[in-house]
Structure 1
Amino acid sequence: MNTEKLLGLYPNAQKKNAPSPDEHILSLIVEDYFLWIDKNSLSAQEENLLKALFQTTYSLENHPWFHYLFEEQAYVSEESCRIIQLHLEKRAEFLQKEWQETIAELFPEALDFFLYTETDGLIIERKHPNYLNTADLKGIFLSLDVDFDLTTQAFVGSFHTSGQNLTAMFDEERKIFLNKQTQIQVSDQTTSIQELALYYYTKELVTSSQLTNEYQEIIRGFKMEEIIIELWKNFGNISSAAKQLFMHRNTLQYRIEKFDEQTGFNLKKADDLLFCYLLLLHT
């Protein structure tokens, strides 16, 4: 059930970008918003049903970054930092206390770390010389998943300076992460904004265009999907792409030239390759 359907059922509910600090408000995560519903308007059965269907949020007293990011309260930090968003899929008996202690040890430069729902958390990490890149973080979270018998989706935000509007930056990064969870099919559980930005920021434009829909059909008609993706992954290098496709280089060269001849898309040119790859992101 999406936000608009819930608003139809509960017309006095409010769609917000942050959870409610009021204990009399039921704060639900629906799509990429928080939905506030006055508990006085709900029966006990309705409240329990909504809690079972949707994630509810905590209000965290001892975490200043929670109040800063979600409740727009003042928090002054002179350091550049990034926000790593986590979503947990727990199995069996989750050793939450031990997991949180391990996270704290692995991120000693964290300015704050907390779960704001049963399954969603944030690590706010200051920029330091030995910070881990996304590839390193992938390995760490995979190891933790094995040790604690869970699956972690992580989204590594960019470093932002203290002068930037960090709450607005976080709100946008959070929506990208939620979009990834529900709509973007990627093999890696740990991703960064750089890996998802191209899809997220072009989705509406590409999916609403009749012209791009026609181009997508052309690519599918020539069965060029795999070739375009491997060329993109290999920076346009035909020899490297041919190896990944288990195809002779000359065969791949012929397919590329034939595609160019029939469609006008020259996959040896960076602009053409980028455009075709972009079309495949939204098929």
Structure 2
Amino acid sequence: MKHKLLSYFQHAIEQTSPPSSSQLETYHWFILSAQKEWFGIPKKEINDSQLDLLKNLFDYFILEEKNHKEELVWKQFLFLQGKIPSDIEATSIRLIQFHIQGKEWEKKLMNDAFTDFIGKNNLLIWKNHHEGVIVEKNQHNLQEEAFASFSKAIQSDFYATITFFIGKEVKLNTTLPVISTQERELFSKGLEIIPSQNVLSFEKILPTLFIHRLLENELELFYHCFSIFKEDKEILHTIQTFIENNGHSTNTAKQLFIHRNTLQYRLDRFTEKTGFHLKDFNSLFTIYLACLLFHPGHKQ
């Protein structure tokens, strides 16, 4: 398909390296990430409808006229093998990847919503129309609850679904683009296997990824030992909530809107039916994997 497009647009070009600054100004650029191939189409040779079509088919690199120099430098650094930003004040960095699905939205309004959300200390970078990254500097980090609330607000205001991946805080050095790529690949897997979650992280994705990579014969014992989860979704939700609250009974009961005695009855019933104890670390980890396997929000 790419070669047909290059022959269709008379002055289209292709290359294996990122475009230069002058090329970014005169061409629309698309990247095939798997092959690390770039192709550019002169802005004068393509109309709006053709551009919209190509944006849906290929990974489009956006260079907006209003981009600040800092944003461009960071975009070049993270995505285009550019030099490390000479931002002396930024010593520690946390990258927040995001992915948006849904109907078309007005870019300026979406930008304004993001800008108000992340604050002046952090930086918003768009990779393409549906993906981007928030660069959080020097521990100006937003809490997970804030991302969950913002996701709900975007869904309400823009009729779009946005999912975040919260990366780990790291030092600003030349390894950051590699870490960014690794986190983006893990994020992509998380979007596939945990589609119900709007805030993901390494800790959330890895256990689910592990349980989904077990062979069917290896999962048979899970299905047998934890058949109660298939029969009683209330018990499943209770046990998973209890584990995710680090075994804190008061917080769990409060989140489930039940009395602590009711919670204890369900916990005891689970142990009686399965023989697994919730105070043993190895059992707890196994039980949590079973919760992920049976949870209706996870792809099986």
Cα deviation, residue 158, structure 1: 1.9
1:270 is matched with 281
Cα deviation, residue 156, structure 1: 2.1
2:243 is matched with 232
Cα deviation, residue 58, structure 1: 0.8
Asked if the contact 1:25/1:39 (under 8 Å) is kept, the reply is yes
1:91 is matched with 103
**Rounded Cα–Cα distance in structure 2 between residues aligned with 1:168 and 1:227:** 39
The root-mean-square deviation of aligned C-alpha atoms, in Å, is 4.0
Q: TM-score, normalised by structure 1?
A: 0.69
1:56 is matched with 59
Asked if the contact 1:155/1:192 (under 8 Å) is kept, the reply is yes
User: Quick one: which amino acid aligns to residue 85 of structure 1?
Assistant: Q
CA offsets 1:168-220 (integer angstroms, 9 cap, x no match): 21111111211122221434x233334334334x256x523744442233212
Instruction: List, as ranges, runs of 4+ consecutive aligned residues in structure 1 with deviation greater than 6 Å.
Output: 37-40, 47-50
1:124 is matched with 135
Once the two structures are superposed, the pairs formed by residues 73-84 of structure 1 within 5 Å of their partners are: 73-76=82-85, 77-78=87-88, 79-84=91-96
Asked if the contact 2:225/2:274 (under 8 Å) is kept, the reply is no
Asked if the contact 2:62/2:126 (under 8 Å) is kept, the reply is no
Asked if the contact 1:219/1:225 (under 8 Å) is kept, the reply is no
Gaps of 5+ in 2: 2-15, 20-26, 295-300
Cα deviation, residue 148, structure 1: 3.8
Asked if the contact 1:83/1:170 (under 8 Å) is kept, the reply is yes
Q: Percent same amino acid at aligned positions?
A: 18
Asked if the contact 1:256/1:267 (under 8 Å) is kept, the reply is no
1:159 is matched with 169
Cα deviation, residue 108, structure 1: 0.7
* Structure 1 residues 255 and 233: alpha-carbon distance in aligned structure 2, compared to 1, 3 A threshold: same
Asked if the contact 2:96/2:135 (under 8 Å) is kept, the reply is yes
Q: TM-score, normalised by structure 2?
A: 0.65
Cα deviation, residue 273, structure 1: 1.8
1:169 is matched with 179
CA offsets 1:202-241 (integer angstroms, 9 cap, x no match): 256x523744442233212674644532332343356765
Asked if the contact 1:27/1:56 (under 8 Å) is kept, the reply is yes
Asked if the contact 2:17/2:38 (under 8 Å) is kept, the reply is no
**Rounded Cα–Cα distance in structure 2 between residues aligned with 1:102 and 1:50:** 26
1:13 is matched with none
* Equivalent residue for 2:208, pick from 194, 199, 208: 199
**Rounded Cα–Cα distance in structure 2 between residues aligned with 1:71 and 1:39:** 15
User: Quick one: which amino acid aligns to residue 258 of structure 1?
Assistant: E
Cα deviation, residue 98, structure 1: 2.9
* Equivalent residue for 1:27, pick from 24, 31, 35: 31
Asked if the contact 2:94/2:136 (under 8 Å) is kept, the reply is yes
Asked if the contact 1:134/1:191 (under 8 Å) is kept, the reply is no
**Rounded Cα–Cα distance in structure 1 between residues aligned with 2:28 and 2:142:** 40
Cα deviation, residue 109, structure 1: 1.1
CA offsets 1:19-73 (integer angstroms, 9 cap, x no match): 96356985346xxx57748799xxx9xx999847644221548511222112222
CA offsets 1:81-122 (integer angstroms, 9 cap, x no match): 111222223436x22113213423432112x42322221122
1:9 is matched with none
Cα deviation, residue 252, structure 1: 2.2
Which stretch has the larger CA shift, 154-163 or 206-215?
206-215
Asked if the contact 1:58/1:116 (under 8 Å) is kept, the reply is yes
1:139 is matched with 149
Aligned-partner SS, 1:252: helix
**Rounded Cα–Cα distance in structure 2 between residues aligned with 1:151 and 1:245:** 28
Asked if the contact 2:193/2:208 (under 8 Å) is kept, the reply is no
Asked if the contact 1:156/1:191 (under 8 Å) is kept, the reply is yes
